[in-house]
Structure 1
Amino acid sequence: MPPDRRQAAPLYIPQFTAANYGSFFLAGALCATITHGAMTPIDVVKTRIQIDPALARHSLLSGGRLIVAKEGPSALLTGFGPTAVGYFVQGGGKFAGYEFWKKQFVAFAGDQDTAVKYRTAIYLGAASVGELFADIFLTPLEATRIRMVSQRGYATGLASGFTRLLREGGVRDLYAGFIPIIFKQIPYAIGQFTVNELCHEVAFRSMSKETRAKLSPMSRLSISLGSGVIAGFAAAILSQPADTLLSQVNKGHGPKGTMFYRLGVLARQIGFKGLFAGLGPRMVMTAGLVSGQFLIYGAIKDAMGAPPGVEIHKASKKD
């Protein structure tokens, strides 16, 4: 008998309009700025644990209490402006970029079977490229935030902090952390998007299409929340070493020389344990950030009538 030559399943790719990408951008921008802004106090404590030897052995709670006791409650809101604005543009670029590049890579696969087979590579590639472009806008604002957090009284707000950093250090200082921020944010985005996609796939794989269609809002919320929390843990662990180095670089630590040389020296000085200082608080923060972002992103997209993204999950055996 002739060999079984099954024809590859046709590939359906939605044709997103400029308005659709505008919706993706706005939903991503709002979900990122809302969650990162809300997490500012935790991020302040996390950053101070990373860069202040006096706080290195403190937990999130004890470190926060010490900062409040010495500097007052307002210290926990240091850097709120750069955080809100920076993650507004970064979040919009990251989420819209992920939707755009995932669609491009799926189209490049050519057929449904190939896209599903290489779906993890597609998630990794789309998250990486989308984040790379988003970080061009984030880097100077993140440098401003870290300088304000690490040097109490550095500036009174976003505008004064940004202009002072630009005046004293120029564009070079604003983008001094570009390489480490890429090393931080790209693994973060990979953990965020790839793990979230795979967690949803695992949750849905045991269900038929009919069961998925009849899921209650609470069941869908539980799946989204659980997937987001796990993705947040993955994002925190993958990006923690570069996050620590980024804080050190933006405070001016490290020798002179190229960025790769500075990062290498700093990594050796800090050591493996030091690179993961503050991981516990950051995992708590990131789990809340990522799960919150996906929930808010989906809600805003639904409210604006935006279409769902391209789905290439492996089909359930019950379908």
Structure 2
Amino acid sequence: MYPTALTQLARGNPFSSPLFNIQKVEEPKQSLHGQRTRTLAAAATSDEGPEVEFGSQKYFLLCGFGGILSCGTTHAALVPLDLIKCRLQVDPEKFKSISNGFRLTVKEDGVRGLAKGWAPTFIGYSMQGLCKFGFYEVFKVFYSDLLGEENTYLWRTSLYLAASASAEFFADIALAPMEAVKVRIQTKPGYANTLRECVPKMYAEEGVWAFYKGVVPLWMRQIPYTMMKFSCFERTVELLYKHAVPKPRSECTKSEQLVVTFVAGYIAGVFCAIVSHPADSVVSVLNKESGSTATQVLKKLGPKGVWKGLVARIIMIGTLTALQWFIYDSVKVYFRLPRPAPPEMPESLKKKLGLTE
């Protein structure tokens, strides 16, 4: 079968373009749960003991569980920094720097004030992590089956981008209500101090819309962020094993592999913070102010205002992303799931390119 329309669209991706073209591709006959070997970067098997089949229902459920642990716990742990970042964005006249923000917050609210919004943060990002990581694995397998094994290898960056964008679309719908509550608690002093206080108050004032008015800005922030998070991580893992790690992945211990995961996660996190920061500023201000729209907030902030708090966000997101990938990969180690590894070129493609004897 000749390449599909999806394949042709993928070829337009500026992030990845092969140095050669395949004129004809034999599509595998197996379905989603078939037994064919996949060449995705996350398809490496565990080194010992029984393993969960890649692409099985159990595999997807455990990936979702890993997403809950990685996103919920890390975001909750970084609530103090997130609180200061949000205040820098919505009130730059008062909160002029990270250190100044911490001092003022402790002075006004005490040390306990740094934990404001921890409950909606934990709940919201746990739900987001479930959908983000779980659906990413689902869509990666689904799009791989559409492309076929050879095109999966050739256009793997496009596949990472498409799968992560699709997953984040649903993840943000799950996140939006708790994100709105979190920002309202953190950035509107005196409005509410807890989740139980804030939710009924927001509902009484604006109805259900109060919890979902930020979903479009969330898509603007989170979809580019997640596309960068997954595609940059996958390709960085590939490059680290190829150029930086002094021995093959198969010879590395699990601890050494987790170090590679952490480093790749941090590198991906820095890029994530930069590409998503303007939209993050809009979300913070939008959820603080009742009746505002994303367009109004964007005009109010201006070109410079949307970059307020970038340094704090880079530190937060770099650390956050590295820890998330580390925890997620650790869950895969514990349950003996297929884990990140450099993708291998299919034998059929090697033969077409004359790379085999």
TM-score by length of 1: 0.88
Q: Deviation of residue 275 (structure 1)?
A: 0.5
Is 2:178 aligned against 1:147? no
How do residues 106-255 of structure 1 correspond to structure 2 at under 5 angstroms?
106-112=144-150, 114-206=151-243, 211-252=248-289
Q: Deviation of residue 176 (structure 1)?
A: 0.8
Is 2:73 aligned against 1:73? no
How do residues 249-268 of structure 1 correspond to structure 2 at under 5 angstroms?
249-252=286-289, 262-268=293-299
Q: Distance in 1 between matches of 2:216 and 2:161?
A: 19
Match of 1:16 in 2: 55
Q: Distance in 2 between matches of 1:290 and 1:244?
A: 19
Q: Deviation of residue 9 (structure 1)?
A: 9.9
Alignment-mate amino acid for residue 19 of structure 1: K
Question: 1:169-195 deviations in whole A, cap 9, x for unaligned?
Answer: 111111110100110111111121111
Conservation of the 8 A alpha-carbon contact between 1:232 and 1:289: yes
Structure 2 unaligned blocks of 5 or more: 1-21, 29-35, 39-52
Distance 1:207 1:73, change over 3 A: closer
Conservation of the 8 A alpha-carbon contact between 1:248 and 1:254: no
Structure 1 unaligned blocks of 5 or more: 256-261
Q: Distance in 2 between matches of 1:7 and 1:254?
A: 53
Is 2:314 aligned against 1:289? no
Alignment-mate amino acid for residue 303 of structure 1: Y
Match of 1:85 in 2: 123
Conservation of the 8 A alpha-carbon contact between 1:154 and 1:161: yes
2:338 to 307, 314, 317: 307
Distance 1:252 1:210, change over 3 A: closer
Question: 1:206-231 deviations in whole A, cap 9, x for unaligned?
Answer: 48998221123453233212111111
Conservation of the 8 A alpha-carbon contact between 1:201 and 1:313: no
Q: Distance in 2 between matches of 1:314 and 1:35?
A: 35
Match of 1:42 in 2: 81
Structure showing the higher helix proportion among its residues: 1
Q: CA RMSD in A?
A: 2.8
Match of 2:94 in 1: 55
Aligned length: 307
Q: Distance in 2 between matches of 1:152 and 1:208?
A: 49
Q: Deviation of residue 20 (structure 1)?
A: 1.7
Match of 1:275 in 2: 306
Q: Deviation of residue 94 (structure 1)?
A: 0.4
Identical-pair percentage: 31
Distance 1:89 1:146, change over 3 A: same
Question: 1:40-98 deviations in whole A, cap 9, x for unaligned?
Answer: 0000000000001333532x222111211122111110100000000111101100011
Q: Deviation of residue 135 (structure 1)?
A: 1.0
